[in-house]
Amino acid sequence: MTDSFRAYVIDRGPEGESRQAGWRDLTDDGLMDGDVTLRVTHTTLNYKDALAVTGRSPVVRRFPMIPGIDLAGTVLASSAPGFAPGDEVILNGWGVGETHMGGYAERARLRSEWLLHVPRGLTGADCMAIGTAGYTAALCVGRLLSAGCAPGDGPVLVTGASGGVGSVAVALLAAQGFEVIASTGKTDEADYLTALGAAAVLDRAEFAAKGRPLGSERFAAAVDSVGGQTLANVLSQTRYGGTVAACGLAQGFDLPATVMPFILRGVTLAGVDSVMAPLPLRAAAWEMLSDRLDRDLLARITRTGRLQDVESLAVALLDGRIRGRILLPVEGALAPAA
């Protein structure tokens, strides 16, 4: 395949200082090594994608780079067993969009061990509406369940609840019978979060300032995508034997906490990584999403954007002006170069 395709490319100048980004025409020769070539049909915009597109954080570690850590597509060519032309597949993470060219393009070449077939009951578009954010939420919920958390134990807190991870976490936990307490800085989103299944909505300000090393026992468990002081306060307010699944750092990567919740209440801080998670964990997370995530709620969480507008969408996401998830169709959506 030597015909050209459109891609959003981030590059840097000859001195390595100036940053350049924009749409280009590429051919397959411009792609990286892999044993499966895809026609990309859908992608999405995650927090990490927004950082890469805006350059606000050094997410991209190889130049030139096509960002986009998620993609869904159809196999065009494959030398890998288990994948054949016409198969519909998805990818989340594995360094794609950071060190290996990603999903903001009409075509991608990838390693087969990074791919999953589109889960039963879902479409490629569904999977990108869910994206890494939703898949990470499922990993977090799975981590709580594997730690023995049960609906009868008490309320479960979800921080950053109006974001992509938080929205899906609220919906998944509520679908499994948990009493979900949603924390958000967007208190006008209370109706949205209640519709997803939240029993109550708290202002994130309750957790943003420095608190006591050991607070009142309020939550049986938590899913945290915020980090920083918020995570420290959540840990201090987790009940005896509770688990906090931590997957993000929107407030910061520091953890100004003490050991007291761990040694006096037996609280577990469970780190959740979505980028390099092994395939069995990924498959289990996607099975949970297929089985438990209500499609009407997914539609409520999702808005469809234009990939051509990814720069303005990235700014809006980082500025907190987007809730839930963004689906970005690729196939047939990119105009050819003038």
Q: Give the model's pLDDT for residue 17.
A: 63
In a domain, 319, yes or no: yes
Q: Which of 18, 180, 7, 185 is CA-nearest to residue 101? A: 7
Residues 79 and 204 in one domain: no
Residues 155 and 235 in one domain: yes
Structure-token pair, residue 283: 């498959």
Residues 221 and 97 in one domain: no
In a domain, 161, yes or no: yes
Residues 95 and 12 in one domain: yes
Pairing between β-strand 36-44 and β-strand 107-110 as defined by DSSP bridges: antiparallel
Residues 258 and 193 in one domain: yes
- The Cα–Cα gap between 130 and 136 comes to 9
Compute mean pLDDT per 10 residues along the chain, 338 residues long, and list them. Answer: 86 74 94 97 96 93 96 98 98 96 98 97 97 96 98 97 95 98 92 97 95 96 97 98 96 94 98 96 97 94 95 94 93 66
Pairing between β-strand 88-92 and β-strand 116-117 as defined by DSSP bridges: antiparallel
Residues 113 and 148 in one domain: no
Residues 260 and 201 in one domain: yes
Q: Give the model's pLDDT for residue 337.
A: 47
- The Cα–Cα gap between 109 and 289 comes to 26
Into how many domains does the chain fold?
Answer: 2
CATH number of the domain at 164, please. 3.40.50.720
In a domain, 278, yes or no: no
Domain residue limits at 199? 133-271
Q: Which value, to the nearest 10 degrees, does the dihedral of the CA atoms of residues 178, 179, 182, 188 take?
A: 120
Please count the helices (runs of H) and the strands (runs of E) in the chain. 10, 15
DSSP, res 336: P
Residues 68 and 169 in one domain: no
Q: Which of 139, 293, 155, 309 is CA-nearest to residue 234? A: 155
Task: Compute CA 57 distance to the chain's CA centroid, rounded to the nearest angstrom.
Answer: 17
From residue 241, give the alpha-carbon distance in Å to each of 78, 148, 151.
48, 10, 14
Residues 104 and 170 in one domain: no
- The Cα–Cα gap between 110 and 115 comes to 8
